[in-house]
């Protein structure tokens, strides 16, 4: 914000908010409520909410909004209605509706003898998208019946104090398409319900289009869950490191609204600076892995197909496997053709060193080789394979029925296999083709196996440690691809988690929708990442190159310790 404009805001705010000033000449908004809402997303809960409506509200125009957790008590503790009156009148912020909503409570059967069940910490301190869904699926549609509320993310601010602050940030974090301006005062980014993980996630996750204002004081809480003052500084450091639009004011106050009240006009003016331009992502300021382009986004590809598995030949040409129809598609010049259809259940697909397609026939426990013309022939009997990955010497297979992990050497017509722990979900060779990466359904870890000169597997261990989505027990790892830096890209329920050579997650690419099934690098330059998610195929260009396990091994740089 320019210095002159900021001085104007302060002068204007003083003139129109202090006793004896000209505040009577400025329109005063109306506060309506309390109204009561009974939630389905938080079953059994009831809550009060209030609506602030400025005099300048025009029902014929979509209107901005600010959503404040902890209801009217919090808004009045910040002096928010008066601040909004003055800043709207001075056109410092746009005309906006205030939505002041309390947390839910489950009423007790006998109020005289028992307390209700207070949902504040459960709703506010939790990570995940539940609270965002409560707003977007329940409360905001209800208010939209009476008020013309804009649905644009850049037209919404979400705010809170303490647990309400992390709630506001989390709602925007989960749904940046719906909320892009965040006011966080004395935020509870500590270990009450996992909020202490946020600074790490901010650093590792692909940046989102958010603008955040932080406020805290040096005498804030310091309890069993953490130090609020330290945690807020950690959040600021993470947000700056990740290139976010972030501002802050640090003071001396404790865990109360006094500090926020002092800076409310400044915070709102900064959050809405440059409106109607919406907050954007600043990849040029992100200090992590340089993987994504400014204009690179996931785009739906071949929308008429519903694949679940992907394979890529040595030229980067794509093959897709539809497990419901048991069809193998070959993609040429952005067009698909049916290469092979099996009368039975196909389990897996891979490409061999000869660039031929190999699939597993689960019903007959065998591996089929598919010719260029689409003819299938039995390569080997006796292998039940949910997953296959080709190599220059043969292919590796994994079985969820036999719980075996093995290798078939095509030149020697020899199988070596051993029992494995867990249910396999994906296989991928390292860039140098000296290790096999394996993910399983039951583990938070990705496994690594050394490949002996014969192709056999040795010295398996848990290696890559994945982040777990909030409220889930496992990452949901379902597909792995590898680039020339020997980084692994694993499709998980939290996004595509990118690990360095030492098995540490450095980056989390956001995925377009839902859970992911498989992914692979493809195209002639091997810089296009393909992803299957909920039966839909997407692709995105990255600033890296994938490797093919059926081509010459790639020696990656030495790992950084």
Q: What is the pLDDT of residues 305-359, one digit of tens each?
A: 999 999 999 999 999 999 999 999 999 999 999 999 999 999 999 999 989 999 9
Domain-embedded: residue 554? no
Domain assignment present for residue 490? The answer is yes
| Same domain (yes/no): 506, 537 | yes
Compute the distance between CA of residue 77 and CA of residue 48 in angstroms, rounded to an integer.
17
Checking if the pLDDT of 260 tops 80, the result is yes
pLDDT surpasses 90 at 514: no
Give the count of domains, the chain.
2
In a domain, 341, yes or no: yes
Tell me which of 285, 309, 326 is where a domain ends.
285
- Residue 207 maps to a domain: yes
Tell me the CA distances in angstroms from 365 to 20, 347, 414, 523, one per residue in order. Answer: 87, 10, 16, 32
The pLDDT-based confidence of 109 (bands split at 50, 70, 90) is confident
Domain with 78 in it = 28-285
* Residue 126 confidence (pLDDT): 97
Task: Decide if 550 is inside a domain.
Answer: no
Overall average pLDDT of the 272-294 stretch: 95
**Exposure letters 287-297 (e unless 16+ CB within 10 A, then b):** ebbebbeeeee
Q: How buried is 276 (Cβ within 10 angstroms: 0-12 exposed, 13-18 middle, 19+ buried)?
A: exposed
CATH number at residue 230: 3.40.50.1820
Mean per-residue pLDDT, 61-66: 98
Residue 62 resides in a domain: yes
What's the CA gap between 307 and 298, in Å, rounded? 17
Write phi, then psi, for 131 (nearest 5 degrees): -65, -40
Q: Spell out the residues 6+ positions from residue 195 whose beta carbon is closer than 8 angstroms to its own.
A: 125, 127, 166, 170, 188, 189
Query: Pick the residue with more confidence: 113 or 482?
Result: 482
Q: Do 350 and 458 share a structural domain?
A: yes
Say if 292 falls within a structural domain.
no
- Report strand pairing: 211-217 vs 245-251: parallel
Residues 277 and 210 in one domain: yes
In 33-151, alpha helices (H): 71-77, 80-89, 120-124, 130-133, 140-143
CB 397 within 8 A of CB 358: no
Q: Could you say which of 252, 285, 318 is where a domain stops? A: 285
Average pLDDT, the chain: 93
Question: Is the same domain home to 476 and 524?
Answer: yes
Instruction: Output the six-digit token pair for 412.
Output: 């020697």
The predicted-structure confidence for 531-557, as pLDDT tens digits, reads as follows: 999 889 999 999 999 999 999 999 999
Average pLDDT over residues 92-107: 97
DSSP letters for 382-395? S---SEEEE-SSEE
SS3 283: helix
393: domain CATH number is: 2.120.10.30
Q: Residue 24 has what pLDDT? A: 56
In percent, how much of the chain has pLDDT > 90? Answer: 87
Task: Give the span between the Cα atoms of 322 and 307, in whole angstroms.
Answer: 4
- Residue 3 falls inside a structural domain: no
Verify that 345 and 221 share a domain, yes or no.
no
Q: Of the candidates 237, 254, 285, which is a domain's last residue?
A: 285
pTM: 0.93
Distance of alpha carbon 503 from alpha carbon 542, whole angstroms: 20
Q: Are residues 273 and 344 in the same domain?
A: no
Co-location of 33 and 177 in the same domain: yes
pLDDT per residue as tens digits for the range 422-468: 999 999 999 999 999 999 999 999 999 999 988 999 999 999 999 99
pLDDT at site 15: 55
List C-alpha distances in Å: 38 to 32, 149, 171, 516.
18, 21, 20, 34
Considering the domain architecture, whether residues 255 and 314 belong to the same structural domain is answered as no
457: tokens are 């597997």
């Amino acid at each position: 914000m320019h210095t002159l404009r900021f001085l104007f805001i302060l002068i204007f705010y003083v003139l129109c908010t202090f006793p004896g000033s000209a505040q009577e000449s400025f329109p005063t908004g109306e506060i309506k409520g309390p109204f009561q809402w009974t939630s389905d997303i938080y079953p059994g809960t009831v809550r009060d909410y209030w609506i602030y409506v400025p005099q300048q509200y025009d029902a014929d125009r979509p209107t901005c909004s600010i959503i404040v957790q902890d209801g009217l008590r919090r808004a009045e503790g910040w002096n928010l209605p008066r601040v909004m009156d003055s800043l709207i009148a001075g056109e410092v912020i746009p005309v906006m509706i205030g939505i002041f909503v309390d947390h839910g409570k489950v009423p007790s059967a006998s109020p005289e003898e028992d307390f209700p069940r207070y949902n504040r910490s459960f709703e506010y301190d939790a990570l995940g998208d539940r609270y965002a869904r409560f707003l977007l699926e329940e409360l905001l549609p209800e208010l939209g019946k009476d008020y013309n509320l804009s649905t644009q993310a850049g037209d919404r601010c979400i705010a809170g104090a303490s647990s309400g602050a992390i709630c506001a940030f989390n709602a925007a974090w989960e749904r940046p398409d719906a909320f892009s301006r965040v006011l966080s005062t004395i935020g509870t980014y500590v270990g009450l319900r996992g909020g202490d993980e946020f600074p790490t996630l901010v650093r590792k996750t692909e940046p989102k289009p958010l603008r955040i204002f932080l406020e805290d004081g040096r005498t804030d809480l310091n309890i069993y869950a953490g130090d609020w003052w330290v945690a807020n500084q950690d959040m600021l450091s993470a947000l700056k490191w990740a290139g976010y639009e972030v501002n802050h004011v640090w003071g001396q106050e404790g865990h109360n609204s006094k500090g926020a009240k002092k800076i409310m006009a400044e915070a709102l003016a900064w959050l809405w600076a440059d409106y109607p331009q919406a907050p954007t992502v600043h990849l040029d300021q992100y200090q992590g892995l340089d993987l994504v382009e400014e204009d690179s986004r996931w785009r739906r590809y071949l929308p008429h197909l519903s694949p679940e598995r992907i394979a890529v030949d040595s030229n980067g040409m794509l093959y897709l496997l539809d497990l419901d129809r048991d069809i193998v598609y070959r993609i040429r010049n952005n067009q698909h053709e049916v290469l092979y259809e099996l009368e039975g259940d196909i389990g897996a697909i891979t490409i061999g060193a000869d660039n031929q397609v190999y699939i597993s026939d689960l019903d007959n426990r065998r591996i089929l080789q598919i010719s260029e013309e689409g003819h299938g022939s039995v390569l080997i009997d006796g292998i039940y394979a949910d997953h296959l990955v080709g190599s220059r010497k043969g292919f590796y297979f994994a079985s969820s029925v036999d719980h075996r992990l093995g290798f078939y050497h095509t030149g020697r017509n020899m199988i070596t296999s051993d029992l494995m722990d867990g249910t396999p979900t994906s296989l991928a060779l390292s860039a140098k083709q000296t290790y096999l990466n394996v993910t399983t359904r039951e583990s938070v870890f990705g496994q690594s196996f050394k490949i002996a000169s014969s192709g056999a597997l040795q010295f398996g261990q848990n290696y890559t440690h994945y982040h777990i989505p909030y409220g889930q027990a496992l990452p949901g790892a379902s597909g792995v691809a590898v680039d020339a830096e020997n980084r692994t890209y694993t499709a998980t329920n939290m996004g595509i988690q990118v690990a360095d050579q030492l098995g540490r997650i450095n980056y989390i690419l956001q995925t377009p929708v839902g859970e992911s099934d498989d992914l692979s690098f493809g195209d002639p330059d091997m810089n296009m990442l393909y992803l299957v998610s909920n039966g839909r195929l997407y692709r995105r260009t990255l600033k890296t190159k994938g490797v093919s396990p059926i081509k010459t091994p790639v020696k990656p740089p030495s790992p950084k310790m």
